Structure 1
Amino acid sequence: MISIKELSKVFHTKDQDVQAVDQLNLEIDKGEIYGVIGYSGAGKSTFIRLLNRLEDPTAGSIRIDNQDITSLNKGKLRLARQEIGMIFQHFNLLWSRTVHDNIAFPLEIAGMTKAKRDKRVEELIDLVGLKGRGQSYPSQLSGGQKQRVGIARALANNPKVLLCDEATSALDPETTDSILDLLVDINEKLGLTIVLITHEMHVIRKICHQVAVMESGRIVEQGDVLDVFLYPKEKVTKRFVDQVMGDPEREHSLNLINDTYKTGEILQLHFIGENTNQALISEISRSFKVDVNILHGKITQTQKGAYGTLFVQFAGEEQEIKRAIEYCRSTSVEVEVSPHV
């Protein structure tokens, strides 16, 4: 659906040249929710603006649905942009227009008749959960409602791609989750390809299928969200994963485990995807003569499944403990054994 080759953007300033995006390559499949994450200054906002040529690239190419966006003249680009919706961090609504008229605005520009505009706007208002608010003004809406208007406006022309530029950064956590749920719903109902940039791993974890990590204008790591959570390679990726999986009490808990449990074996179990539903602990208790103490654990959910970590103690006869550990390893649960954590 989206193919990006050797994409670069250099900003020329009075004092220096700034390489915002540096030879970026990316493939995004149709119907995918693709997350791009990076800290401030990583180049992600410039990257997403390059996708609809709000910024022109210095080098490289962008193909969307087999059309080379980078080679289009202004007239053809205007038409191509009708198939690329965009929502923004600070909503970018027209404050003198009602909800209805904000959503209708791109349809007016496209030359749609008023009767068709009104029908389409009502469909979109219903889709984003704003029924009855069509005649309200932005100043009368909450942050989440404003973003819903922004999403409806971005969908007005039935785009093939929806670009989300830090779409939830200005919202509180509960409202963020409701907007993310709406994006998932839209993705599933319309089969829409969504490219979402953020600095919050919670956003990636909750709705994205694939993720790319940006640093200094480059993609330093990419892949399936669950794989990136499980096996982060780069330092910056590990910092992002810690946003969700990090546990400020973990070190204290492990020190307490060391001090309290002097016998048996301490295991760290990693449950992945459907494995999180396995009754492993109860099965071990029934099948082996070992005492199982659950010491510390955490679980998180991604679009591709759950990931959980559990610290347990196996106590009992040495041979029986070994048999229980071997049984764990025979399942698809990953096992790390350490007598002293």
Structure 2
Amino acid sequence: MLEHGGNLRAARLHYGGDDWIDLSTGINPVGYPAPAPSPDAWQRLPEPSPDLVRAACDYYGAPLLQPVAGTQAAIQALPRLRPPARVTVAAPSYAEHAHHWGRHGHQLRQIPYDALDAAVESSDVLVVCNPNNPTGAVVAPERLLDWHARLAARGGWLVVDEAFGDTARSLSIAAHAGADGLIVLRSVGKFFGLAGLRLGFVGAAPALLQALEDLLGPWAVSGPAQEIAIAALHDGAWQRATQERLARDGARMRALLAGAGIAAGGTPLFHWWPEARAEAFHDHMARRAIWVRLFREAARGIRVGLPAPEAHWRRIEHALQEWTREWTER
């Protein structure tokens, strides 16, 4: 399997210690207060809930959505629903996309975001994260819809991963996801801080959603996950308060990094920057029990998420100050 954030066991095994701050994911550290599921949610086979689909369509503004066990399930399934094709994946981006398209007989290439427009005519499938993970790069909805029209005119697909789209709702094209050739992925794990539910949604034309459901099989999403997600998707007051808090905390993290001479881009949920001394920075923070995400290859650099308690903010600030002093003295 590919390496991902959230692997605190590896950090503890290598560096020791218990009081770790995990900044290695872009998951909201103050997640939705999940209600206790009903006894039926545990005891009955989890039939797909129409209430869940309605709540998701209302929240995401989509005409039709298919619940899946996290967007990862869709990422792994989509390459199996199309004959061998010319597939272009924006790079750098979430590595699972290229990994799975490359395993099923497709002709895969990865190209930078600024070269995507020119690549549309020579692609059958184009895969884009918007906002991008890990860099935070974005593509305007108008451009995405133009790419979709050009691809769909010859039977192509545009796959848009909007897993981090909750804090940038104006970028979403989920409202158009009923059209042939457009596939939009949404995640409950990031903004709602409910990664453990393993719940996401796929917006696409009905025929493709049916093919996806047939491939994934029955009972794909657990009963407790469905009940908790219905509550979270309906809770507008919590959503509004969380949008405001994440905006504040994202700005605070950006300011902390700037104070250490780091010009980072990203979203309210995470920040990323290219770092020539990426391994050294990762090790510096880890020795202070702060776990950040190290990228060694195409997106060589560092990504940091958000902490929650004030004491964690102070520890991060102190570690950044030490980093600045250490490298200034050198």
TM over 0.5: no
Structure with the bigger RCO (C-alpha within 8 Å, sep 6+) is 2
TM-score w.r.t. length of structure 2: 0.25
Q: Give the TM-score of the pair, scaled to structure 1.
A: 0.24
Higher-strand-fraction structure: 1
**Which structure has greater helix proportion?**
2
